[in-house]
């Protein structure tokens, strides 16, 4: 059956022009010709997403039916959508797509072929076809060609807006996953991250059924396949920055699975936050952001000179670069590796209370995994005036269709069996909270991570600090003691103790909500 015939069988009829598996150069031409993007001076392609410049969690749904009714963790994050309403909305969307061009990319996800999911991404705009081709995986030249039949199909129409009163959506935008029909519908929003994260949600539903632990993490590799490190962390904690290390091989920057053989990347590209990026601080990401084939999302570009300003946040702080992972020097070609030797849980503690590094027991690791703690600071969101604690269970609750305890149970099984060293690394403040203390310098955090990965820190002497009962190294070369023991850096020690007790009580309160 032809592609056209398959789409007609689905109900997608009277498509004007169908463009199949176009290369980046061809997609550049279409995007520029249609005035949907600008070519930068360096060769990257700049596009703006309109009203939506970040994820829209209120507009995300899962169809509630026989497959999902008893397994999905329904609530504020996983909101149910009626199957009949889905069918009517799909029909309206398909009518909208008639007599329009359609750009199709036949991709797949999961570097381990045993877990491969073939994914077709259909979009009305070429920039999103390039995004899918960049972020997901495609057959490389010389690789064995796999069957290109779709396991799941994602249909993307940012120009189509739903009617909330009629279509039972929250707004004109919608992201709906239908596991029975193996179909994802995205409409009304041009933010490309919705494509990426809806597929991540899909894998977070499918893989645990096979005993595979899906992780919202970055990962890199040392000199051999057994020297694998995993970095968990929420946005702003340094997950991507710290995992891209010139002395190690990058496996992936955001999404991985862990099965009986080891870990593997879900994707084939990177989607890096780049506001304020510089060549001095993050050279690999900076250079990748300027290359031909890279998509720059909501980055400001001078329409005359075509020069890019990475420091301009007038559209959003959430500016992004999407580029193939092999743009990063020393990326690991197979994107598969052995079981983790080290697991690093990153947090950005703006209260200045947690040590820069601590070694976690198995029980502590599971607790911190379920907490998914970091903090927001003034200026990151409207209305934030003082540091605010943030908890995202499993370091990715917006993308988890199942209950957090399901993922925590898989995590506990993996670490008990394979016994990695597990670390808490604080990339936040020291010497006081935000506004009083200072942020731990990036180079100091890099030094701590290096000492973890080269095995030096595991050989250190540890003692338990009194507030959070964390095992903290008694000393570490080139790291001041007040960074390791944050209470020593506070001028008012009593105030530190009171604040630490408050945060500990908050941890206990949040921990009681979930257990394994």
Q: Exposure pattern of 331-358 as b/e (b: 16+ CB <10 Å)?
A: bbeebbbebbbbbbbbbbbbbbbbbbbb
Q: Active-site residue 239, yes or no?
A: yes
Q: How far is CA 451 from the centre of its chain?
A: 26
Q: Confirm whether 339 is a catalytic residue.
A: no
- Going from N- to C-terminal start, the domains of the chain cover 3-37+54-211, 214-258+339-511
Query: Does the active-site annotation cover 133?
Result: no
Q: Does 320 qualify as catalytic in the annotation?
A: yes
Q: Considering only CA atoms, which of 237, 497, 275 is closest in space to residue 374?
A: 237
Q: How do residues 426-475 score in pLDDT, each as one tens digit? A: 999 999 999 999 999 999 999 999 999 999 999 999 999 999 999 999 99
Q: Which of 53, 64, 216, 414 is catalytic?
A: 216
Ranges in the chain, pLDDT < 70: 141-148, 377-385, 512-516
List C-alpha distances in Å: 455 to 49, 173, 227, 431, 450: 44, 48, 10, 28, 8
The CATH number of 3-37+54-211 is: 3.40.449.10
460-to-2, 369, 454, 472 alpha-carbon distances in Å = 63, 24, 12, 9
From the list 42, 71, 87, 235, the catalytic residue is 235
Q: Is 244 marked as a binding-site residue?
A: no
> Was 312 annotated as part of a binding site?
no
Query: Is 494 marked as binding a ligand?
Result: no
Q: Of 302, 300, 320, 321, give the one whose Cα is nearest residue 312.
A: 300
The one catalytic residue among 48, 156, 197, 499? 197
Which one of 240, 374, 430, 451 is the catalytic residue? 240
Has 197 been labeled as part of a binding site?
yes
Q: Is 247 annotated as a binding residue?
A: no
Tell me if residue 486 falls in helix, strand or coil.
Answer: helix
- From the list 30, 48, 53, 55, the catalytic residue is 55
Tell whether pTM > 0.85.
yes
Whether 456 is catalytic: no
Is 282 known as a binding-site position? yes
Per annotation, catalytic residue among 112, 254, 259, 349: 254
392 is catalytic: no
CA 319 to chain CA mean position, Å: 14
Q: What is the pLDDT of residue 427?
A: 96
50 is in an annotated binding site: no
Please state which CATH number belongs to domain 214-258+339-511: 3.90.228.20
Tell me if 344 is assigned to a ligand binding site.
no
Of 108, 320, 376, 499, which is the active-site residue? 320
237 is in an annotated binding site: yes
Q: Is 60 annotated as contributing to ligand binding? A: no
Residue 254 annotated among the catalytic residues of the structure: yes
Is 216 known to be catalytic? yes
């Amino acid at each position: 059956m032809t592609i056209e015939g398959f789409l007609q069988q689905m109900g997608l009829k009277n498509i004007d022009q169908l463009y199949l598996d176009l290369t980046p150069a061809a997609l550049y031409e279409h995007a520029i010709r249609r005035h949907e993007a600008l070519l930068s001076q360096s060769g990257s392609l700049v596009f703006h997403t309109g009203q939506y410049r970040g994820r829209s969690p209120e507009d995300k749904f899962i169809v509630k039916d026989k497959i999902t009714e008893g397994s999905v963790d329904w609530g504020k994050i996983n909101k149910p959508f009626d199957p009949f309403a889905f069918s009517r909305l799909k029909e309206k969307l398909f009518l909208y797509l008639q007599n329009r061009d359609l750009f199709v990319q036949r991709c797949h996800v999961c570097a381990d072929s045993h877990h491969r999911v073939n994914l077709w991404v259909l979009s009305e705009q070429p920039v999103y076809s390039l995004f899918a081709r960049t972020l997901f995986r495609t057959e490389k030249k010389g690789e064995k060609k796999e069957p290109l039949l779709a396991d799941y199909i994602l249909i993307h129409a940012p120009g189509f807006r739903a009617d909330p009163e009629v279509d039972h959506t929250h707004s004109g935008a919608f992201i709906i996953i239908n596991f029975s029909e193996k179909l994802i519908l995205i409409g009304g929003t041009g933010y490309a991250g919705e494509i990426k994260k809806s597929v991540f949600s899909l894998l977070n539903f499918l893989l645990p059924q096979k005993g595979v632990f899906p992780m919202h993490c970055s990962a890199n590799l040392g000199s051999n396949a057994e020297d694998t490190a995993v970095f968990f962390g929420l946005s702003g904690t340094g997950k991507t920055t710290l995992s891209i290390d010139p002395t190690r091989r990058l496996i992936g920057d955001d999404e991985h699975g862990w099965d009986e053989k080891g870990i593997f990347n879900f994707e084939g590209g990177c989607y890096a936050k780049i506001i304020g990026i510089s060549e001095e601080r993050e050279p690999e990401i900076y250079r990748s952001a300027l290359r031909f084939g890279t998509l720059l999302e909501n980055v400001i570009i001078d329409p005359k000179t075509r020069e890019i300003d990475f420091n301009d946040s007038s559209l959003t702080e959430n500016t992004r670069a999407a580029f193939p992972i092999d743009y990063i020097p020393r990326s690991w070609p197979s994107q598969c590796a052995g079981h983790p030797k080290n697991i690093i849980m990153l947090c950005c503690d703006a209260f200045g209370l947690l040590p820069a590094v601590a070694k976690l027991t198995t029980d502590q690791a599971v607790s911190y995994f379920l907490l998914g703690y970091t903090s927001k600071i003034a200026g990151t969101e409207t209305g934030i005036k003082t540091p605010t604690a943030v908890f995202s269970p499993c370091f990715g609750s917006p993308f988890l269709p199942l209950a957090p305890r399901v993922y925590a149970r898989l995590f506990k099984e993996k670490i008990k069996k394979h016994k990695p060293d597990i670390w808490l690394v604080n990339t936040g403040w020291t010497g006081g909270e935000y506004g009083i203390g200072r942020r731990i310098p990036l180079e100091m955090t890099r030094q701590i991570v290096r000492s973890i990965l080269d095995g030096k820190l595991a050989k250190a002497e540890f003692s338990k600090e009194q507030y959070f009962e964390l095992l903290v190294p008694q000393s570490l070369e080139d790291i001041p003691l007040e960074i390791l023991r944050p209470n020593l850096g506070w001028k008012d020690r009593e105030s530190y103790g009171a604040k630490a007790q408050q945060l500990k009580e908050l941890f206990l309160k949040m921990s009681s909500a979930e257990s394994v």
